[in-house]
Structure 1
Amino acid sequence: MADTVQRWTAGVQTPPLAARRGLGKFMRQRSTIAFLMCLPLLVIISCLVIYPAFYSIWLSMLNKSQTRFIGLGNYRFLMTRDVFWMVVQQSAIFAISAVLFKALIGLVTAHLINNLPVKGQRKWRGMLLVPWVIPLALSSLGWWWLFDPTHSAFNYVLQELGFSEIPWLSDPYWARFSVILVNVWYGAPFFLIMYLAALKSVPEQLYEAAAIDGASAWQKFVHITLPMMRNIMAITILFSLIVTFANFDIVQIMTAGGPRNMTHVFATYAFMLGIRSGDLPLGAATSLFMLPILAIAAIFILRGVRKRGREIG
């Protein structure tokens, strides 16, 4: 009789125990559930990014008619052309100078806004984000009108002040200056909002302790603000460097690579070779030359971020 009661009791208790065990097993499989929920996004990324990337590598190794595999022939051909090396130089000048100016302007404006009252910060943040919110193609057309030789608003102002006109888009060096200026105008608000967020995360107690020790504003900036913002600054610069290096809209709309190919960057030169000239493999090879340059920059910057993270940890 006792055995019968014990078996009956065990049978009654088995379903709750099984349910708890099943729930525990379910909770331990959260990584599997997370993967399944991310699977649609991974499929979309694979179709829109990974597959085109590998296809472009394959395409860059074909001849112009895409009927024969020539290996690294397109790359060797590009490296023998003076125009290509000029594009490499111009892309480096365009990206590095634009990113440096954007970082400097963003850092200065972020500090200025951070020292304003809260209500004033909201207004200035909204106004200074306008260049970044406007579609780049639309704002580039507006700047093109301002620089246009025939109806240039800048030249009109210069004439009214008694100065001579400037060939903004017809002189190679002024054209290079113009596209860099527009890129800085468009990208500086991104640095501003990132740096401002980093400044908000710096504990006020550090500044108070430094003030008690008699530190000046410059010493607070060098010894507190910069070390606390260094990782955010590095990541922001890396992201902006990648986007600026691959910039297409500004150069294509304002100069289309001219005059005399002096403002071409990788994206516009690849577009000219691949689409306008009809040599898709050569255009793909040109665009892929950005990959090792950006990879080296990413490794260098991320290594510094990881090293500083270990030191803080």
Structure 2
Amino acid sequence: MAARWLDNRHLLGALFMLPAGALLLVFLAYPLGLGTWLGFTDTKIGRAGVWVGLDNFAFLAGDSIALLSLFNTIVYTLVASVLKFVLGLWLALLLNRHLPFKSFIRAIVLLPFIVPTALSAIAFWWLYDAQFSVLSWALTRLGLIDRYIDFLGDPWMARASTIAANVWRGVPFVAICLLAGLQTVPPSLHEAAAIDGANRWQQFRHVTLPLLTPIIAVVMTFSVLFTFTDFQLIYVLTRGGPLNATHLMATLSFQRAIPGGALGEGAALATAMIPFLLAAILFSYFGLQRRRWQQGGSDA
């Protein structure tokens, strides 16, 4: 009987997936379910809460700081994701050429993504320091500015500074993924397009870009997810300041739940992020569907 079960590849596949499924259930499904439930209660640290329905969400809808964190998160995600895509695609096209020391250059490009986020944030905190910023020092010596820039003291300057730090960390991930996609494009397609009279831009627009669409959909989905839920970079660099100008929904949720003690309110804020994350996942799904359509409906 056991031998017959082991010959069943579907059952054997399910058995191999059980450990991974158990880990996902314990470390992902359970915390997600618990956090969602807490969002509908008035739980405080040290005190069990009671069911309050949508009261937390109604409060957050009228809370100016929560609305500001939503605005900050959307601006942060959109601007950083667009910049990471543009710079990552440009870098991927550059690395796809025949360059000397290509392997070494690719390894160097990955460094910003490999360095721990907290260390990157500390480095940027030093670069942005109001008194000892090496950026302000260099610009002053070049005569471009006459006083040091307060990178993290002005709300919009702080937003731009945190976006720059996120882009620096995220561009390598986008570039390497798109580079892998570029290397799957058959050179014969570009040669055929060139014979037909297509210039470099037309080859990229009508040959390279359509074949990269599924990879772009997946890569940008992960990029949006990572950026939208960013916590470490903002928390180490600004703690949400100045004047809550850099608070994202993730950092404000932590602040309300842990230091503030309002677990229910913090969980509700985190739960409110789910629709935006689902939208990013659907973006990836429809990108993959387009790929299947390009292949004539095949599931291969």
Q: 2:11 aligns with which of 4, 8, 32?
A: 32
Give, in angstroms, the shift of residue 89 of structure 1: 0.9
The reply to whether residue 263 of structure 1 matches residue 246 of structure 2 is yes
Deviations along 1:84-119, whole A, 9 cap, x unmatched? 1111111000011101100101100111111124x5
Distance 1:307 1:113, change over 3 A: closer
Matched, 1:282 2:265: yes
TM-score (norm 1): 0.89
What is the DSSP-based 3-state SS (H/G/I as helix, E as strand, rest coil) of the residue aligned with 1:86? helix
Tell which has more relative contact order, 1 or 2 (C-alpha 8 A, sep 6+): 2
C-alpha separation between the residues in 1 aligned to 2:69 and 2:154?
17
Tell me the distance in 1 between the aligned counterparts of 2:90 and 2:2.
Answer: 57
1:57 matched to which residue of 2?
Answer: 36
- From 165, 186, 195, the counterpart of 1:203: 186
> Following the alignment from structure 1 to structure 2, what is the Cα–Cα distance between the partners of residues 75 and 199?
44
Q: CA deviation at 1:78?
A: 0.4
Which residue of structure 2 lines up, in the alignment, with residue 310 of structure 1?
A: 293
Task: For 2:246 and 2:104, locate their aligned partners in 1 and report how far apart those are by CA, in whole Å.
Answer: 36
Is the 2:218–2:287 contact (alpha carbons within 8 Å) kept by the matching residues of 1? no
Q: What are the Cα deviations for residues 221-276 of structure 1, in whole angstroms up to 9, with x where unaligned?
A: 00100001011001100111011100001111111100000111011110110111
The residue correspondences of 1:226-305 to structure 2 (distance < 5 A) are: 226-305=209-288
Instruction: Quote how far apart the aligned CAs of 1:64 are.
Output: 3.9
Larger Rg: 1
Q: CA deviation at 1:186?
A: 0.2
Q: Paired residue for 1:93, among 75, 80, 97?
A: 75
Q: Does 1:150 align with 2:134?
A: no
Aligned-pair CA distance for 1:69: 1.1
> How far off is 1:155 after superposition?
1.4
Displacement after TM superposition at 1:300 (Å): 3.6
Q: Distance in 1 between matches of 2:290 and 2:107?
A: 35
> 1:175 matched to which residue of 2?
158
Letter in 2 for 1:54: G
Q: How does 1:39-118 map to 2 (within 5 A)?
A: 39-65=18-44, 66-117=48-99
CA distance in 1 between counterparts of 2:96 and 2:5 reads 47
Q: TM-score, normalised by structure 2?
A: 0.93
Name structure 2 gaps, 5 residues minimum: none
Offset of residue 28 of structure 1: 5.0
The CA distance in 1 between the partners of 2:282 and 2:91, in whole Å, is: 29
- Counterpart Cα distance in 2 of 1:95 and 1:103: 12
Comparing 159-168 with 69-78, greater Cα deviation is found at 159-168
Task: State the aligned residue count.
Answer: 291
Contact 2:69–2:252 at 8 Å: present in 1 too? yes
Q: Give distance in 1, aligned partners of 2:5 and 2:69.
A: 56
SS of 1:97's equivalent?
Answer: helix
One-letter amino acid matched to 1:111: L
Judging changes above 3 Å, is the alpha-carbon distance between structure 1 residues 187 and 76 closer, same or farther for their aligned structure 2 residues?
same
When the two chains are superposed, the root-mean-square deviation of aligned CA atoms in Å is 1.6
Amino acid aligned to 2:75: I
- Distance in 2 (CA, whole Å) between partners of 1:304 and 1:207 is 23
Aligned counterparts of 2:2 and 2:29: Cα–Cα separation in 1: 38
Identity of aligned residues (%): 35
CA distance in 1, matches of 2:284, 2:16: 32
Q: Which moves more between the two structures, 31-40 or 256-265?
A: 31-40
CA contact (8 A) 2:118 2:232 kept: yes
- Runs (5+) with no aligned partner, structure 1: 1-20
CA distance in 1 between counterparts of 2:195 and 2:279 reads 43
Give the aligned residue type for 2:32.
A
